[in-house]
Amino acid sequence: MSDKPSGPMLDVSDVARIFRADPKTVNRWTHKGMLKCVFSPGGHRRFYATDVIELLLKLGWHVPEWLTFAVERERQDEVLSSRAGD
């Protein structure tokens, strides 16, 4: 993955569904450093899609197509936005 996290932001329940895990397990992963997170202004954990994909690949899990598509779509939107500013 790239050095800069990107893609849509996912919440704990989104990540839990992807891994078929309990949200408390996802929170433990962040405490252990297995999965990076940022905190929303309200104090809730948010995860970059690229970080979730990185963990899926590290564990040898299948990456859902919708997640890959969402990251690629956001990258394309960023490129188009930067070109519009030229």
CATH 2.60.120.10 for the 9-84 domain, yes or no:
no
Mean pLDDT of 8-17: 96
Is the confidence at residue 5, as pLDDT, over 80? no
List CB contacts of 71: < 8 A, sequence separation 6 or more. 6, 7, 8, 49, 50, 53
Contact call for residues 1 and 50 (beta carbons, < 8 A): yes
Q: How far is Cα 33 from Cα 80, in angstroms, rounded to an integer? A: 34
Q: What is the pTM of this model?
A: 0.80
So where are the chain's domains?
Answer: 9-84
pLDDT tens digits along 42-81: 999 999 999 999 999 999 999 999 999 888 888 777 777 7
Q: Which range has the top average pLDDT, 2-11, 21-30, 68-77? A: 21-30
User: Would you tell me how many other CB atoms lie within 10 Å of the CB of residue 1?
Assistant: 14
